[in-house]
Amino acid sequence: KKASKQWHPEDSIIEVGNIKIGGGHFAMIGGPCSIETYNQLEKTAAYVKESGGNALRGGAFKPRTSPYSFQGLGKDGLDMMHEIGQKYDMPIVSEVMAISQIELFEDVDMFQVGARNMQNFDLLKELGKTNKPILLKRGLSATIQEWLMSAEYIMSEGNENVILCERGIRTFETETRNTQDLSAIAVVKQLSHLPVVIDPSHAAGRRDIIESLSLAAVAAGADGLIIETHPEPERASSDGEQSLYPEQYRELTEKVWKLHQFM
Ligand code: PEP
Ligand code: MN
């Protein structure tokens, strides 16, 4: 199978805009859960870049638990992010929720497939027909084998630019929103050549343990981190509790790059 080490013994290196991810190349992706306003996203991009981040995240189509919660700015959000990504010279990543949205992502450097869509096989196959990199999040209750099979759905259609993202899985624990499965890094590295990015924000659901999870992920061999941060987390439209303050993002990024030197 195409995601397996047998198919491709060397670690894959995926190009995302002007950066590379995998095979020793590390992604420090930062940004808000949701794109809210031009000003909010630009402020965020400015400190993400200044702190040493090398890619920008932001949701324009949001898979909210409640249909009454903020659903995202849609295409207008993607346009804002494109402009800001260019201005700060960072590739951009955003979640695509449906086949009908794919065409709106022309200026986006990497598609994010959210945890809730990990087994939306029609969407995966359609993304497999594009040649844009895909950040494939692990499903809320998906096994590593199921996650890798979802990568196969994309790769079997021709697009081999897949990056796996562990964002926490459902367990019985209630102190954290989900449980970060750090063992997935080591296991996936044995089974697959694909890069693995860790999302401690959605795993933890709380900003106070993001640093511990991030540093542990780097030490375990992760190829990148995707971190939610907001200039004013209390005012965020989504996931404010888990979003780092600008200063926390800066401190974390500094530590991550220092630790990564030894990997
Ligand atoms: C997100 O990245 O904001 C998000 C909704 O992530 P997940 O699909 O992992 O819940
Ligand atoms: Mn979020």
Dump pLDDT digits (tens) for 186-204.
Answer: 999 999 999 999 999 999 9
ipTM score here?
A: 0.99
Q: Name the band, by pLDDT with cuts 50, 70 and 90, for residue 90.
A: very high
**Residue 23 CB–ligand 1 contact under 6 Å:** no
- The Å distance, Cα 50 to ligand 1 centre, comes to 24
- Residue 218, both tokens: 């780097």
Q: What are the tens digits of pLDDT across the range 211-233? A: 999 999 999 999 999 999 999 99
Q: By alpha-carbon position, which residue is closest to atom 9 of ligand 1? A: 115
pLDDT value of residue 220: 98
Cβ 230 vs Cβ 243: under 8 Å: yes
In a mutational test of the pocket of ligand 1, which residue from 69, 93, 112 has the highest number of ligand atoms less than 8 Å from its CB?
A: 112
Q: Name the band, by pLDDT with cuts 50, 70 and 90, for residue 125.
A: very high
Q: Give the count of alpha carbons within 13 A of 233, CB side only.
A: 19
Cβ 227 vs Cβ 244: under 8 Å: yes
Task: Spell out the residues 6+ positions from residue 162 whose beta carbon is closer than 8 angstroms to its own.
Answer: 3, 14, 133, 134, 136, 151, 154, 155, 194
pLDDT value of residue 130: 98
What are the backbone angles phi and psi of residue 162, rounded to the nearest 5°? -110, 135
**Residue 63 CB–ligand 1 contact under 6 Å:** yes
Q: Which CATH topology does 14-260 take?
A: TIM Barrel (3.20.20)
Q: What are the tens digits of pLDDT across the range 159-174? A: 999 999 999 999 999 9
pTM score, whole prediction: 0.98
pLDDT value of residue 44: 99
In a mutational test of the pocket of ligand 1, which residue from 137, 201, 225 has the highest number of ligand atoms less than 8 Å from its CB?
A: 137
Task: Spell out the residues 6+ positions from residue 84 whose beta carbon is closer than 8 angstroms to its own.
Answer: 38, 41, 42, 45, 56, 92
- The Å distance, Cα 41 to ligand 1 centre, comes to 17
**Which residue type occupies 58?**
G
Mean pLDDT of the chain: 98
Question: Whose structure tokens read 């249909």?
Answer: 67
pLDDT value of residue 259: 98
pLDDT value of residue 246: 98
